[in-house]
Amino acid sequence: MLPPCRRNSVPHAAFDINVTRTCGCGDAFNAGFAAGLLYGLNAEETTRLAQASSVLNATGLGSKAGIVNLKETLSFIEGARVSQSLKPDAC
């Protein structure tokens, strides 16, 4: 069972990428989150899609350079390295 501080959260390990620029990452996260909701994904999948959208944006030079389509974003999620696993009991 998750501790009280984690009961309403969806923890994810960070994607391991080389950041080029973070301009537009928040917007990309919001777009990925909205897409996840529109496609009927569950909370974990929606959060992961949002995170991947933001991360891909950070790999490009310019506010839209790393933005790709849904198929490429899902492919990135499947093959991406993560920086570390999260401990489920950590707050």
In angstroms, the CA 60 to CA 45 distance is: 23
Cα angle 50, 58, 84 (rounded to 5 degrees) comes to: 70
* pTM for the whole structure: 0.79
Give the integer Cα–Cα distance in Å for 81 and 75: 12
Q: Which residues of 60-69 are buried (b: 16+ CB within 10 A; e: fewer)?
A: beeeebbbbe
What is the band of 12 on the pLDDT scale with cuts at 50, 70, 90? confident
Q: What is the pLDDT of residues 44-71, one digit of tens each?
A: 899 999 999 999 999 987 667 778 899 9
Q: What is the dihedral of CA 35, 37, 38, 40, to 10 degrees?
A: 120
Res. 91 pLDDT band, cuts 50 70 90: low
